Chains A and B, each alone.
Chain A
Amino acid sequence: MLDIQGRRIGPSHDAEGRRDFLRVGAASLLGLNLAEWFQLQAAGVAKEAKAKCVIQLWMAGGPTQTDTFDPKPEAGEDFSGPLRRPAATKVAGMRVSELLPLLAKQADKYTIIRSMTHMNNAHETAAYIMQTGTLPSAELVYPGIGAIVALKKNEAGYKGSLPPYITLTNPLGRFSEAGFLGNNYKTFAPGGDPNAKEFRVQGIVPPRGMTADRFAARRSLLKSIDTLAAGLDAGEMPAPFHAMDEFQEKAYNLILGDARKAFDLSEEKDELRNRYGRNHFGQSCLLARRLAERGVPFITINDGGWDTHKQNFDAMRRKLPILDGGFATLLEDLAQRGLLDGTIVTWYGEFGRAPRVSLEPPWFGGRHHWGNCFSAVVAGGGFQGGHVLGATDNRGENVRDRPVYPWDLTASIYQLMGIDPQGRLPHPQGCTAYVSPIASGAIASGGLLKEIL
């Protein structure tokens, strides 16, 4: 794969990729090279789980970095647009957008990675890279982080009655998020709006008008007429029939048990609900916290509307306060409940947006795609807070220091979750598939995020 500057970043079969890897490894101040990586492995660091759960805040469309976590007012109005007064944060020297005042107060809890890069400017491909932590290959569709976490937690004996990988509230649907892991590792997406008065989680909360009595009557009615293969002994019954019965049983446990109360936001105080923000995103953040409390290992909130080619600044004035309320309250709430140490919170989209504003029609102050460099935010679960990792140049157009590739970030997340990034995934055609491509050593890497682990 060639990036826009003609620099090769993908896995390569020849020596060039390897040199590239070594160069990048050496250039990074604290990044690990492969040898160090192995040492780390040998020391057993990778096996110890600091985090129990990931809450991923996914900003579909690609959020601008310069208007959020990497402000560049000094680059002039052609770059900063009207947002010229970034807010100082609780952490000395760290600045964020003036439209994120609440997050500024929580800055000690998160680290901003300003040097994310993958060089890809197409939504589908870039989203794939960020969601899976791998580069696309010809015939292999990789599972997303959530599916891998679900698989590994299942292997480790996840017993929760809630599904291990939950999306709030609608799946991305742009590619198979479970990849070659198959249907059973797809995400559980309840749909609907958690901010709505009657938020009904499809499948878990009974439909309108369904009473407990009627539900029970239906259940026994089904039992009495579900007669296919009923004449066979248990040992003779075809395997899929068995599986069907088992899944129905599990479903009933979920519907009738306590687990579904996780979705009942009316249990929360109004004051807290208001702080999260009475909107889809804010209430999703609150819901994510409730799911994390109940041990769901991977939750993603899919927020959209970040593809701001046109009138970017109007969109920022609309969207950033919503982001601010939900994200900042989530961090604060998790910390107050003592959950932040065991919960990773991540914030990013598929790429960033052009630092130079397109003022001409039809864009009227828009920003286009920018995979060259962009920001990601990580907090909790073993990630240190109050740091800025990496830096971009004066205009925010290129990585100046400490490149962080998507697989560096995902491998660090896996590591904190106690999942060996060098571990294997079951591959339908029997190929060798690693949890993270970093394990193959054949990919450009800035190393694990050792600075903030």
Chain B
Amino acid sequence: MARTELALLALSCAWLQLSCATRTAAVSAPAAPSRARLDVWPERVSLAGRWSKQRLMVTERQRDGTLRDVTSAARFQSKNAAVAFVEGGVVKPAADGVTTITVSTAGGRASLEARVERTQATQVSFLNYVWPALSKLGCNATACHGARAGKGGLQLSLFGAEPQADYDALTRAAGGRRIDRVTPLESLVFRKLAGATPHQGGVKLKAGTAEFEIFSAWLTQGAPYSHAQDPHIVSLAVHPPTLRMAKDQAHPLLVSAVFSDGSQQDVTADATYLSANVKVASITDGLVKAAGLGESAIVIGYMRRQAVVPITVPQVLQQPFPPLEANNRIDELVYRKLRSLGIPPSPGATDFEFLRRVRLDATGVLPTAAEVRAFLADDRPDKRGMLIERLLASDEFTDFWTLKWSDLLRIKSEYPVRIWPKAVAVYYQWVRESVAANKPYDQFVHELITSNGSNFRNGPANFVRAVPSKDPQTIGETAALLFLGARFGCARCHGHPSESWSVEDHLGLGAFFGKVNFKPTLEWKEEIVYSDPKRNLRHPSTRLMVAPKTPGGAQSIIAPDSDPRLLFAEWLTSPNNPFFTRNIVNRIWFWLLGRGIVQEPDDLRDSNPPENPELLDYLAKTLVENHYDLKSIFRLILNSRTYQRSSMPNRWNTWDEAHFSHYRAKRLSAEQLLDAVSQVTGIAEKFISRIPEPFSNWPVNSRAAQLSDGNAECSFLDMFGRPGRDTPYEEERSFELSLRQALYFLNSEQLAAKISASPLIRQLAQPGKNDGEIVDELYLATLSRFPKETEKRTLLEYLAKNRNARAQAVQDVAWAVLNAKEFLFNH
């Protein structure tokens, strides 16, 4: 895990000190008229081997400190082209020796040394040349031999995740017929690549290219896997390690592979590049272009190694950044980021906006008209904080967060892929009691991971059962996703394309659950979960027992009669495991603010850096200090000014989606919306689940947020994106809008019936109520505020005009507010 931590540390450093570590060859330009300093990277060129090369980067440091890439305008001159020559900004070897390369631009000159060695005797092995070439040629891509079942009989690991297997596939599989050791250049693999034998993928090797020479040299040299003395890739070095750019500016990146012997090789042209946010930065062939304001990260990959370069494109403000008041540490850390990006936040939310928002976000329930009146009339200065405390202690809070955990834990009766209604009830009850007691999060998770016994009696024993496939690897994958935010799924079949998780990591994780077993009882569909000493996870190809291994950690030795789940739970919930706490605080942040500090909220990995690492670490640290009290994190966030910002963007932060400069308006979730409509109309929804039997019924007046079974039938909830609880991903809950939703609200009989049958709306339409009261009351109950002057006038006119059909007119007004964005959104 140290690897990831270091990377995170490096990132934090990058965010703080934007110019840290730009060790360029600082060759001073000739004095007088120069307006800039010329920097050339790298400081010196060292080429080893016939196919080595080195791209050069030339930048001018402007007076104001910013860097300007002038590589394309620079002229390069090698003193001795017989040793090394420059072609399109790339230094290439000719023969062993040393020479000097001169760089000149309109602004100055610089020179650097180029050393060339081993051009004659280049030993080619699979690992050092052929394996990278397979990636470069695209042989191991999904569309070709990297496909699950290979192509044309040849199967390679996806993106070269498993070099040994790929070597075997080329040299040993199919009876070794792909390699001809007597006449190497007649080898099938070479003939296919060079187009001598028909190849569905086309001609890949053209004479004269480096890859052509590599393959022929490798085959001629006996197609070895590796030589003992071959250095192997350790990491990637990128220059510059971080970039702060102006919008529309472009800047190249130089990528080197760092080998175990300390040597480096330029792989700029061979690496893969991905921008985390293409709206901010695009990347083509190693050239970063600042397309928009904000932040992105360029994820660079080369032969299972990767590096991340944070990109910042700040907004230039014409006036000084406004002074900002902080309620707590969260605000200070958020403001630091906003300042560095030049994004002034929106003003604070009004009292009624805050009340409606916090009520929905913390408890899922719309405030009643009476509540709004009372809160608006309250003139105590700390009324917001007191409200937050009241909500955190409410039963509605418990209901709402039990619902959230029930989504993630997939509490849904659907036999055989999931659990029986009885188990659902018991599991739900356990979660609810845990949330109500504010059970420390480490204990909550520990119980889920390690519980045994009847799944009809011991709720958390269902953790290993409420998965579509109860094999150890699926359970391990689920645990990693839920409690580490790590998406291991890809590594089940192939190495994770953008991470270093391998198939072995996936197996090692699964092995912690390798002894989990189930047995039936005399009670219909009851299962006993237990740790079976006789069971083990076996490697799918070797059939050997797999030893448990924490992600990125070492293998564990487990006594045959002990339950490895205990070890996993200990490691997982240890205060020294930052991933455990970062995952949950990031999720809480996402639940309340609609976007994670790491987005997606359940995709924590090196190549998806947090928007604000200090903020994430601060929250994680606070959680440990508070003994895993989750409510303390809710309290901290809800009390921050960051949470309490208006949702209306100002002219400087409209574009901001990721830095919390304004509250992110989101459609009410399925349950929130249904419960809000029920509350406003006074017509409750009836819930039932018929399949599988026995039927489950919920008490009349149950709110949707109180449903214990994801299987409860309700077309409204389905239409508005309640999660199917098919997977443990957060994104299963949909906040998308759709045509069907619009039709339902604008024109459905269901909503019309609720409005016309509503005792509350009927009461409002009683003779004797004056029109002003009706409008006020409807506004308070739905939009949690008094109507504005203009709105009131419009509505009063409407009521007056339709005096003959008063009941209908009141219904029309109710219909209109229920269809307003202000009702449908939490803003």
Contact = CB atoms under 8 A, between A and B. Distances in A.
B474 A176 contact: no
B743 A183 contact: no
A229 B648 contact: yes
Interface string A196-239: 00001011101110100010011001101111110110011010
B142 A163 contact: no
A200 B753 CA distance: 13
Contacts of B468: 136, 138-139
Nearest to A428: B731
Interface in B637-653: 647-649, 651
Contact of B737 (A163, A203, A244): A244
Nearest to A251: B742
Contacts of A52: none
B727 A141 contact: yes
Interface stretch (B124-132, B434-442, B807-815): B807-815
B794 interface: yes
A224 B787 CA distance: 13
Contacts of B737: 240, 243-244, 247
Given A203-B743, A432-B142, A222 B816 contact: yes
A174 B718 CA distance: 11
B820 interface: yes
Interface string B714-733: 01001101001011010100
B821 interface: yes
B540 interface: yes
Nearest to B821: A228
Interface in A116-157: 122, 124-125, 136, 138-141
B746 interface: yes
Contacts of A206: 747
B720 to A, nearest CB: 8
B734 A182 contact: yes
Interface stretch (A104-112, A184-192, A289-297): A184-192
A140 B469 CA distance: 11
Given A175-B724, A222-B816, A440-B149, A232 B744 contact: no
A205 to B, nearest CB: 8
Q: How large is the interface on A (under 10, 10 to 19, 20 to 34, 35 or more residues)?
A: 35 or more
Contacts of B415: 124
A184 B744 CA distance: 15
Given A138-B477, A139-B468, A210-B752, A250 B739 contact: yes
Contacts of B729: 428-429
A204 B743 CA distance: 7
Given A207-B749, A232-B649, A222 B820 contact: yes
Contact of B742 (A138, A214, A236, A247): A247
A441 interface: yes
A431 B746 contact: no
A23 to B, nearest CB: 16
A319 interface: no
B825 interface: yes
Contacts of B688: none
A232 B727 contact: no
Interface string B256-290: 00000000000000000000000000000000000
Shortest 9 CB-CB distances between A and B: which pairs? Answer: A203-B743, A207-B752, A251-B742, A176-B724, A183-B734, A442-B149, A228-B822, A247-B742, A207-B749
Given A244-B667, A244-B742, 18 more contacts: A14-B541, A124-B417, A141-B726, A171-B715, A171-B718, A186-B738, A188-B740, A189-B715, A202-B744, A203-B744, A204-B743, A218-B815, A228-B825, A229-B648, A231-B648, A240-B666, A251-B742, A430-B497
Interface of B: 142, 147-149, 200, 414-417, 467-469, 471, 473-474, 477, 487, 489-490, 492-493, 497, 540-541, 647-649, 651, 654, 664-667, 691, 713, 715, 718-719, 721, 724, 726-727, 729, 731, 734-744, 746-750, 752-753, 788, 791, 794-795, 798, 808, 812-813, 815-817, 819-822, 824-825, 827
5 contacts: A138-B492, A163-B739, A210-B752, A238-B664, A241-B825
